[in-house]
Amino acid sequence: MLVVMRQDATPEQIRGVAEAVEARGFKAHPIPGAQRTAIGITGNKGALDAPIFESLPGVLEVIPVSHAYKLVSREVKPENSIVRIGGVPIGGQDLVVVGGPCAVETHEQTLIVARALKAAGAHLLRGGAFKPRTSPYSFQGLGEEGLKILADARAETGLPVVTEAVDIEGLELVEHYADAIQIGARNMQNFSLLKRAGRAKKPVLLKRGMSATLEEFLMSAEYILAEGNYDVVLCERGVRTFSDFSRNTLDLAVVPAVKSLSHLPIMVDPSHGTGRRDKVAPLSRAAIAVGADGLLIEVHHDPNRALSDGPQSITPDMFAELMQDLRQIAPVIGRRL
Ligand code: PEP
Ligand code: MN
């Protein structure tokens, strides 16, 4: 349910409605808008409670929200949300390009890639310190040492850092060192991790599960917002299909679908979405054209020797060339880069 406040509602009236919501054991989520404030209500059983709130001072109307997800829905917040990661806005006119190695391997490797990304115009650095690997024998990441390396790379290049947390313990470390917390495809429905991310003080980059429907994807984001963290960026990274010529099938059609249903920004990861270095640039161009707010791209200075995801990692030179292409496409679709 959504309580829409009058345009001239005072801060006291807004607080009064929030208190009335909480007094009934529900949760109030004030959502300031360009014109007026709305207050999302979660935890209630249906529209039966509407009359209680309709009569409160400053209330314009109480409307039911038809989707199962509430706080992520455009019904609740019509304007696009802009999520800032280390000061970089995502979801506005500016396109945001996140680059970095799949895994932080060494200090030297991370710094070489970070410097090249910075020189090419990337906005954020991403690298995994905790890696969710299919095989327990594969490189699992450097853990806290990897987070310290990322912090060093940020100190030198100024690029804010995004990195994955695979469990609650790791999330606390990631929250401490990084500028945003990535929740990976395999954890998209790890509900206790989502709830903890919802209580974090840092933005969350939520990747789509490899078999998640659009509704499941948005419901997972809802878990995070419902706990009070409204800074969520979605990321399409490909889903499993019968098609076997690429690692995953990059579902670019989900971008406009998310845009129509939700106010949250959505990025695209063509690296995991294709699994092949030569397909990263064409799918990046397509993702931007279809309306993505940014890209997540795996870059390695020596991809054939990468400890994780080498076949889909592009080189710094390929990354720089792709940035040039994106700079030409951006103005055509009304974006900036
Ligand atoms: C990654 O970002 O390196 C990763 C493991 O991605 P995903 O969760 O999308 O598979
Ligand atoms: Mn990877």
| pLDDT tens, position by position, 92-128 | 999 999 999 999 999 999 999 999 999 999 999 999 9
261 Cα–ligand 1 center, Å: 24
**Ligand 1 pocket: which of 98, 266, 267, 269 to mutate (most atoms within 8 A of CB):** 269
Nearest ligand 1 atom to the CA of 126 is 2
298 Cα–ligand 1 center, Å: 10
For 46-55, 91-100, 203-212, which range has the lowest pLDDT when averaged over its residues?
46-55
Residue 35 — pLDDT band, cuts 50, 70, 90? confident
Query: How far is the C-alpha of 111 from the C-alpha of 196, rounded, in Å?
Result: 30
213 torsion bin: left (phi>0), alpha (psi -120 to 50), beta (else): beta
Q: Are 124 and 95 in contact (CB under 8 A)?
A: no
pLDDT of residue 34: 81
Ligand nearest to the CA of 309: 2
DSSP assignment letter at 71: T
Return the sign of the alpha-carbon dihedral for residues 249, 254, 255, 258: negative
Q: Are 262 and 224 in contact (CB under 8 A)?
A: no
The chain-wide mean pLDDT, for the chain, equals 96
pLDDT at 66 over 90: no
238 torsion bin: left (phi>0), alpha (psi -120 to 50), beta (else): left
pLDDT of residue 50: 85
Residue 177 — pLDDT band, cuts 50, 70, 90? very high
pLDDT of residue 268: 98
Which amino acid residue places its CA nearest to atom 3 of ligand 1? 102
Is 323 strand, coil or helix? helix
pLDDT at 64 over 90: no
Ligand nearest to the CA of 134: 1
Cβ-Cβ contacts under 8 Å for 57 (sequence gap 6 or more): 13, 16
Long-range CB contacts (< 8 A, 24+ apart) of 50-55?
A: 50/1, 52/20, 52/24, 53/1, 53/3, 53/17, 53/20, 53/21
pLDDT of residue 202: 98
Ligand nearest to the CA of 307: 2
Helix or strand holding residue 99 (H, E): strand 96-100
Which amino acid residue places its CA nearest to atom 10 of ligand 1? 185
318 phi, psi to nearest 5 deg: -65, -35
| Predicted structure pTM score | 0.94
221 Cα–ligand 2 center, Å: 21
| Pocket of ligand 1 from Cβ distances under 6 Å | 102, 128, 132, 184-186, 207, 237, 272
Cβ-Cβ contacts under 8 Å for 135 (sequence gap 6 or more): none
Query: How far is the C-alpha of 111 from the C-alpha of 160, rounded, in Å?
Result: 13
pLDDT of residue 48: 72
127 Cα–ligand 2 center, Å: 9
Q: Which amino acid is at 325?
A: D
pLDDT of residue 85: 98
pLDDT of residue 68: 87
**Ligand 1 pocket: which of 181, 186, 233, 254 to mutate (most atoms within 8 A of CB):** 186
Q: What is the pLDDT of residues 279-303, one digit of tens each?
A: 999 999 999 999 999 999 999 999 9
Ligand nearest to the CA of 133: 1
Q: Are 257 and 292 in contact (CB under 8 A)?
A: no
What does the pLDDT average to over 57-62? Answer: 94
337 Cα–ligand 1 center, Å: 25
103 Cα–ligand 2 center, Å: 7
Q: Which amino acid is at 156?
A: E
Nearest ligand 1 atom to the CA of 128 is 3
pLDDT of residue 165: 98
Query: How far is the C-alpha of 333 from the C-alpha of 36, rounded, in Å?
Result: 29
Query: How many other C-beta atoms lie within 10 A of the C-beta of residue 246?
Result: 16
Nearest ligand 1 atom to the CA of 103 is 3
101 Cα–ligand 2 center, Å: 8
pLDDT of residue 53: 92
What does the pLDDT average to over 214-234? Answer: 97
Query: How many other C-beta atoms lie within 10 A of the C-beta of residue 263?
Result: 21
pLDDT of residue 51: 87
Roughly how many angstroms between the first and final C-alpha of the chain, as a whole number?
Answer: 38
